[in-house]
Amino acid sequence: MEKFVLRFSRKAANALSTVLVSGLVLSPFLFLSACGGSTSDEFTGIDSYTQIGGTLTTATATEINGIGKVRFMTPLAGVLTNNSFVFKGQLDGSMTATTTLVFNSNDLNVTENSGIAVKFTRNGINVGVQVGVNGNWVTVASSITNMYAPLALDFVIDIHNDTGGSNKTRVLIWRYTPYAAATADLDTNSSGDLNSAYPASQQAAGIYTGLIVNQARVTGAAIGTAKILN
């Protein structure tokens, strides 16, 4: 069961050319069948969560809006696991609007400097993206993020905290299928996708996941199995 769209990413094209209410919110969520051919606009729902900070203006099973933080109720299966995250939302008109996904945090407050974090920031009509591992941040190249619109964030993100025998993490972001390293907008294994060296010698230490929103709206948030192997 996957998000499915019939377009290709920047890397896919290149490859082809060469060959909550304060407290608890319980929410079922809907995935699209990979054989359906529909766009991710039909995806809806947010995993069960509890609000742990801030003053959210909306916190329901289908929308998180405002300024605040939530922690998803179901912990990851283990620390050294690889997972995916379906994310759909938007950043409002404020220049300070951000939304941050935090995975594998060892902090019940899922702070953005614990675990593996992916942060989307509004920059006028553009979007900036940063990836952090235990508070060590790198910036995604603008050649990638210039393709993103702040009012139409719609991604599938792989967060790997187990790359096999080494202290290493990996993050991949897709807007479009198929899911492969070559078709990802971002792959932290690719140095050309980042503006500085990725903190590849670190792993995250926890099993908690959450979202931090600052003048942002989230309408889709669901944890699933990793889309690719290392």
Sign of the alpha-carbon dihedral angle for 170, 91, 156, 50: positive
In a domain, 2, yes or no: no
- Amino acid of residue 121: T
Show the domain range for 35: 10-225
Q: How far is CA 149 from CA 58, 122, 123, 124, 223, in A?
A: 22, 9, 10, 10, 23
Helices (H), the chain: 10-18, 142-145
Q: What is the DSSP letter of 15?
A: H
Pairwise CA distance, residues 99 & 183, whole Å: 24
In a domain, 230, yes or no: no
Q: Give helix then strand counts, H and E, for the chain.
A: 2, 13
In a domain, 3, yes or no: no
Q: What is the average pLDDT across 121-132?
A: 96
Output the pLDDT for position 118: 98
Cα-Cα-Cα-Cα dihedral of 70, 75, 80, 81, to 10°?
-90
**Confidence category of residue 28, pLDDT binned at 50, 70, 90:** very low
Assess whether pLDDT exceeds 60 at residue 10: no
More confident residue, 108 or 166: 108
Pairwise CA distance, residues 37 & 209, whole Å: 30
In a domain, 113, yes or no: yes
Q: Give the lowest-confidence range in 11-15, 38-42, 97-101, 222-226.
A: 38-42
What domain count does the chain have? 1
In a domain, 4, yes or no: no
Pairwise CA distance, residues 39 & 168, whole Å: 33
DSSP-based three-state secondary structure for 100: strand
Output the pLDDT for position 44: 63
In a domain, 1, yes or no: no
Question: pLDDT tens digits, residue range 171-198?
Answer: 999 999 999 999 999 999 999 999 999 9
In a domain, 5, yes or no: no
Output the pLDDT for position 165: 79
Here the tokens at position 133 are: 């591992």
Please list the residues that pair with 119 across neighbouring strands.
100, 130
Average pLDDT over the chain, rounded to an integer: 86
| CATH of residue 110 | 2.60.120.560
**Confidence category of residue 43, pLDDT binned at 50, 70, 90:** low
